[in-house]
Structure 1
C-alpha cells in the first residue's frame, strides 16, 4: 500500500535505494485504488434558502451522479469515462445550470460552456458559447478526441457538434420557469446578476482510476444576464478545469473572472506537483544516519505521498487568494494518491465524493 513515510520513521524498514523523481504512474501501487469528487455549484447556499423538497432532490441528483461514476471506476473503467457519465447526469438535471435549466443571457438566449482534460497525456477539449448540444460535456470530449484543437466556440462549435452526430435539442429544451423568472427580474429591474443569482450552478467531476490516470471536467450554463459573448472559467483549461497525473485533477465553480485571473485549477496542481519532491527531501533529512554519516535508509518515491492535510492546505491557500482578489466559489480535487475533496469560500457547495476505501457522501451546506 502507498504510505506516508513520515509516520514510519521510527520503524526499522529499509528501502533499497533513493529513487529519482517519479510520475504519478510510478507512485500508484497495484491495488485497485480509485476516487471521484463531484460538484453542482457553489454560492450563498443556506438552509433558509432551500426548501426540504429541493434539499432532497439535489442530494438525490448528486447521489445518482456519484453512484454512476463510482460504478465505472469500481468496475475498472477509465477516469475519463467516469467523469463524462457523471457530468451527463448533472447536465440533465434542472437543479443545476449546465444543460437543462441553463441560465439566460441578457438577450434571453442560452450560451453553454464545457471542458474536459485527460491527465495521462494532458489532452483537452473545450466548447464555449454553444447551444444545440444536449450534453455540452460530450462536445468538449469530441473536441479533445476528434479535432486538432483544444477549444471551439459559438456557431463553429455548434457545427462541429452536429457533424459529430451528438444529440441536438431545440432552444426551449434548456428553459425552465425558474430560470425564465430570473432573467425577467434582472431585465425589469436592470440590476446586476449578483442580485439575482444566489448560487453558481456549474457542474463538474474529477477522478483517479485504478490505473492511476486522472481526469477532470466542468460544464456550465454561464452567468445570468451575461452580455457580449462573455465566457467564464469553465471552458478555460487551467482556470476552471485541469488534470495532470503528476499532481491532481481540479474542477471549479464560482466567479469565473477571478478563477481565470488566478489560473486556479492549474495553480493548485502546480503547487502539489512542486511540493511533492520537496516533501520527500524534507522527510529524508529526518532519517537517522550511520557512523559514517550515511542515511540508514532511503525514502523511495513510490512509497511516499503527500498527506491529506498538505493537499487540503494547498487547495485552501489558493481559494484564500481567490477571496483576496474578490472572487468566491470553490473547487473539487482528486490526487494520484487516492484523495478526493473540496475547498470553497462560500456558504455552501453542492458536492460529493467516493473512494475505493469505502467512503461515499454528498453534502450541500458549509457546516456538513
Structure 2
C-alpha cells in the first residue's frame, strides 16, 4: 500500500511539474517583411507569387536556424536581411531601385532592444550588405548614423565586402526608372558603367513594371535569452533626387527596438510620413503602456494613413507574438517561432496564424 501511495504521488508530481518545465523552455520568435504597397492577386502571375513566397521562406529559414540554435536576435536579423539584400525580387541591395541620376543608393538600420544600441547607414553605393554596415556602425564605431562615401569607407575599413556599383543593377529596376523619369519629364541618365546590356536581362520572374510597392525589407526577433531586436534595409524610392533619405535609417521612424518597452519594429512605406509620425518609437511607447503589439501597430498605421501615408509594419512583442499591420492591399511577410511553423503571406486578406 505504501508503494502504491508513493507511485501515485510520483505520478501526480510529474503531472504538476510538466507544465512548469514546459514554461521554462526558452522561446524564440521571428518575423520578416519584404515591402508593402499595391500588391494584388491580379498583378502577380502564379510563378511570380510562388517566387516571392519561396524567397520569404529562405529568409525565414536563415533567421530560424540561428534562433533555434540559441543564437542572438541580432544575428538572426542580419542573416535574414542579407538573404533578401541578395535577392533581386526585393528593393534592397541587389535589385534596389535607382535614383534619378541612375545610381543605387542603399539605406539600412539595426537596433538592439536589450541595450538600446543602434546603427544606421544611408546612401551606400559599394557595400554589398547594408545591414551589415549598419550593425558595424553600432558595434564598431562611436556613432549611430553614417552616410554616403564615408559610410562605404567605414564598412570597407572593418572588412565588409565591397562590390562594383553595377553589382546592384537589375534590368527591371532600370526600366522602372525610365518609366518614372518619363512621367516626370526628366532626362534619362546613361546606363551605369559595367551594367549588362538590355538583352542580358535575366532577373526573372519579373513582376509587372507598374508594380507600386514600397521597397523595404526588414526583420524583428525575440531570441531564447529574451532579447528583442529589429533591422531594416532598403533601396528607397525610384527616381529619388537630391540625396533623399527615407525613414529606414532614422531610428524611431522606420526601425526601433526596446526590451523595456517590450517591442521591436520594422516599417515599410512612404518614408516621409513614417518620419513625421515617428512610427516605430510610437508603437513601442504604446506597448510600454500596455497595448498589445497588434493593437499598437494597427493604431499607428491608421495614424499614418490619416496624414496621407501608406505602408505597413511588423512588430515583435516581448511575449513572442508577432504583429502585422498595413493600410495597403498587400505586404510581403512571414513568421516562424519555436511553437509555430514558418508561414508567409502576400495579400492583405491572408492571415498568419500564431
TM surpasses 0.5: yes
Q: TM-score, normalised by structure 1?
A: 0.81
Q: TM-score, normalised by structure 2?
A: 0.84
1:154–1:70 CA distance, 2 compared to 1 (3 A): same
- Does 2:111 correspond to 1:117? yes
The alignment's C-alpha RMSD in Å is 1.4
Quote the Cα distance in structure 1 between the aligned partners of 2:117 and 2:24.
Answer: 25
- Does 2:263 correspond to 1:244? no
Displacement of 1:51: 1.4
Quote the Cα distance in structure 1 between the aligned partners of 2:147 and 2:89.
Answer: 25
- Secondary structure class of the residue paired with 1:179: helix
- Contact 2:297-2:323 at 8 Å conserved across structures: no
- Contact 2:60-2:80 at 8 Å conserved across structures: yes
- Does 2:112 correspond to 1:97? no
- Contact 1:186-1:196 at 8 Å conserved across structures: no
Matches within 5 A, 1:288-307: none
Quote the Cα distance in structure 1 between the aligned partners of 2:183 and 2:247.
Answer: 27
4+ aligned runs moved over 3 Å, structure 1: none
Displacement of 1:188: 2.2
How many residues are treated as equivalent by the alignment?
A: 305
Give structure 1 stretches of 5+ with no counterpart. Answer: 1-28, 277-309
Residues 209-218 or 351-360, more deviating: 351-360
1:139 to 133, 136, 140: 133
Cα-to-partner distance string for 1:17-47 (whole Å, 9 max, x where unaligned): xxxxxxxxxxxx6321111110000000001
Cα-to-partner distance string for 1:210-245 (whole Å, 9 max, x where unaligned): 110001000000100000000000111000000001
Higher RCO structure (Cα 8 Å, ≥6 apart): 1
- Contact 2:252-2:278 at 8 Å conserved across structures: yes
1:80 to 66, 74, 82: 74
- Contact 1:340-1:355 at 8 Å conserved across structures: no
- State the partner residue of 1:66: 60
- Does 2:285 correspond to 1:270? yes
- State the partner residue of 2:234: 220
- Does 2:221 correspond to 1:207? yes
- State the partner residue of 1:153: 147
Displacement of 1:196: 5.3
